[in-house]
Structure 1
């Protein structure tokens, strides 16, 4: 089923406006609250199953979509449409963080980010080769996890002291036991096979206090994907994301010891609940020296991640500067110690 949100004033298609958080009509400027939008102005067109072809209710054009797409725009009339049959049942998200950065703001933020690249080529820093910038909702699973941790170790405390002409080292040994319970909430793991996992991880953090109950109008005017992996399939990744935090917490409880020798460390991490969420991402395609570079921007905070090209000349100059500074510092120390000057 394809859904269009029609403007009650002029009949044109409405899209979600990130600045106001409302449905907005580009033709007459009308804005409507998503919560109160009348079903009278929602039009639908039905399609069978998971077919890749949908018909635009606005102009009649056939929309060719990927089987994973849940929201898109008509290439012919530009209408924002939501494929509701791919957002129902087990495919229905529980929560969504709406876009709070518009396309124009995203472009400005990307320009500013490019100009900060101290080791990137000047041509890249101009940020004038953006091929495309696409707003899309990426599917994530959020996990609430509980870790039960039991530790047995031997801790040592070492003390050095002197008496008379003799220096002494005293080593005390302690049996250490730890029984720890840790809870983690809203651990995010992206569920789209198209998205690079490391890139999506680096977009964190999002402000989860702005999570809203999912409603399809939030997707109007954007591209959205449905998940490719269910919550059970991605649970190992969620556990791996908290593993370093668990180790860090265990170590923090051993801070009073000079050294620790672990005899037993049992860590059991289980899922208490999981829920399906859509998070906003601007995907930026940038053309530089006939090569395409892909960057991602957090659609809520404006944080940009990706690997920009590096200028070999700037890198050489940077290392040369470090070497030169080190040489000057060494000569200055030599002079102060009576070793003369260069």
Structure 2
């Protein structure tokens, strides 16, 4: 038998409540009454506790295979489980894992159809009695029949209950406006995309994140070089001195985030960082009405490798920065050991925006606190070619003018290298920069923003000379050609 949800409604008129980030209050859409999160939480605490206890008891019976025939028949009729168990959550994750891309994975779990009910759960709206079906990890959603926010029973209990939350500050209108602004200034964006594009779906989601505190310590050896060049007759001589620079050190980190939802694309969740942790507050379900909310389906152990990788890379960068006094320093693999001192779970605000163009899906994510928006855009090959040729020709014309009018290079190699090489580098570099603006959903590789101030400690340092060598290059000039 389907469990009954808890609907967070106006205590005065029972109308739908919405949390407003600009005021920090919950407002009733009907009578316009306002309430603090503490008032709403107090009003519904007993009802939520009762619903959660019933859901936990039902889940325990399901796990033990003790469901009644009536309960099993109700689940079969609904086509979805009435309780959340590990098997149901695993089935939900498996649906997304079968998708061909991270965007397809998100869309496959953000919506559902009659043929694909694996990993779904069913419960009743306590306001109107309608049967609601959603992904097993969706903790709160709006009832499509009465408009009230329905909290799925048993979603945030025990280890699934978050420790902290950052409330939404920006609303749906801000998310849509930010996406429109995001299109502007993108040189490689097809004109038709911005003109014809329509937002298919916008959803404010509280996404579960794990916040890792810990330390990294390790050592690595960097190859460093000092290079000196001079001219001897027809030859350019280059002398290189090679050194091994060994460094050892440690660093402390705080609250490195990693989302705990397999539904959410990691690259999007990483790229909308940072969140302002000064606005973290103790978790309360009263911040959730008006938005969707997710419970984690990947625990802290499953997600910690992302934090470990970022800590290791950051320590490597810090050690590399201490290798100074050289002309070149190559990156090195740092043998690091990472340990965690504390792990917290937090719900962080994210706007997810989905558009379709030419039968392709484009997914964008916006930080619901800071407004940072990321997502990959389509690229027009024609615009890439035109911009490259245009920049190359303009810079080439300028370099030719400089060559013949002012500098007048003596040798052919230098003239060709400058007159053709500089335009090529400028055109390529500019196009690479424009292209990077089109692909902003990128997983983070480092955690510099989460290093505890002053915590980096260089505990060992040694520079050893290895070898030196010379190279001689014949330099041809116009005078050489005449002779």
Coarse TM-score class (shorter-chain normalised):
0.7 to 0.9
What is residue 297 of structure 1 aligned with on the other side? Answer: 366
Q: Aligned partners of 2:44 and 2:348: how far apart in 1? A: 26
Contact kept? 1:114, 1:127, Cα under 8 Å: no
**Aligned residue among 1, 15, 32 for 2:18:** 15
Contact kept? 1:22, 1:34, Cα under 8 Å: yes
Contact kept? 2:226, 2:328, Cα under 8 Å: yes
Q: Aligned partners of 1:124 and 1:156: how far apart in 2? A: 49
**Aligned residue among 228, 249, 254 for 1:185:** 254
What is residue 321 of structure 1 aligned with on the other side? Answer: 390
Equivalent residues in 2 for 1:46-65, closer than 5 Å: 47=55, 48-49=58-59, 50-51=83-84, 52-65=121-134
Q: Aligned partners of 2:218 and 2:33: how far apart in 1? A: 56
Match of 1:60, SS? Answer: coil
**Aligned residue among 210, 228, 233 for 2:302:** 233
What is residue 164 of structure 1 aligned with on the other side? Answer: none
2:199 is aligned with 1:130: yes
**Residues 27, 250 of structure 1: CA spacing in aligned structure 2 closer, same or farther, 3 A cutoff?**
same
**Residues 326, 138 of structure 1: CA spacing in aligned structure 2 closer, same or farther, 3 A cutoff?**
same
- Tell me, which stretches of 5 or more residues in structure 2 are unaligned? 60-82, 85-120, 231-236, 410-483
The Cα of 1:285 is off from its aligned counterpart by 1.0
The Cα of 1:36 is off from its aligned counterpart by 3.0
The Cα of 1:327 is off from its aligned counterpart by 2.2
Q: Aligned partners of 1:300 and 1:194: how far apart in 2? A: 21
Q: Aligned partners of 1:158 and 1:338: how far apart in 2? A: 28
The Cα of 1:229 is off from its aligned counterpart by 1.3
What is residue 170 of structure 2 aligned with on the other side? Answer: 101
Contact kept? 1:114, 1:126, Cα under 8 Å: no
The Cα of 1:262 is off from its aligned counterpart by 10
Match of 1:87, SS? Answer: coil
Match of 1:195, SS? Answer: coil
Could you list the per-position Cα deviations for residues 264-311 of structure 1 after superposition, in whole angstroms to 9, with x for gaps in the alignment?
954211111111111111111112233321111111111111111112
Could you list the per-position Cα deviations for residues 237-258 of structure 1 after superposition, in whole angstroms to 9, with x for gaps in the alignment?
1111222211110011111345
**Residues 154, 329 of structure 1: CA spacing in aligned structure 2 closer, same or farther, 3 A cutoff?**
closer
Contact kept? 2:316, 2:334, Cα under 8 Å: no
Equivalent residues in 2 for 1:1-342, closer than 5 Å: 2-37=5-40, 39-40=42-43, 47=55, 48-49=58-59, 50-51=83-84, 52-126=121-195, 128-151=197-220, 178-257=247-326, 266-336=335-405, 337=407
Contact kept? 2:248, 2:319, Cα under 8 Å: no
Q: Aligned partners of 2:338 and 2:29: how far apart in 1? A: 49
Could you list the per-position Cα deviations for residues 15-74 of structure 1 after superposition, in whole angstroms to 9, with x for gaps in the alignment?
212221211111121111112336346655555432511110111101112111111111
Q: Aligned partners of 2:333 and 2:14: how far apart in 1? A: 68
Contact kept? 1:111, 1:127, Cα under 8 Å: no
**Residues 264, 112 of structure 1: CA spacing in aligned structure 2 closer, same or farther, 3 A cutoff?**
closer
Q: How many residues align?
A: 334
Match of 1:104, SS? Answer: helix
- Tell me, which stretches of 5 or more residues in structure 1 are unaligned? 162-166
Moved more, 256-265 or 224-233: 256-265
**Residues 82, 91 of structure 1: CA spacing in aligned structure 2 closer, same or farther, 3 A cutoff?**
same
Contact kept? 1:115, 1:126, Cα under 8 Å: no
Contact kept? 1:117, 1:125, Cα under 8 Å: no
**Residues 335, 128 of structure 1: CA spacing in aligned structure 2 closer, same or farther, 3 A cutoff?**
same
Higher helix share: 2
Q: Aligned partners of 1:295 and 1:170: how far apart in 2? A: 48
Higher strand share: 1
Contact kept? 1:151, 1:264, Cα under 8 Å: yes
Q: Aligned partners of 1:109 and 1:127: how far apart in 2? A: 17
Q: Aligned partners of 2:183 and 2:270: how far apart in 1? A: 21
Q: Aligned partners of 1:278 and 1:199: how far apart in 2? A: 16
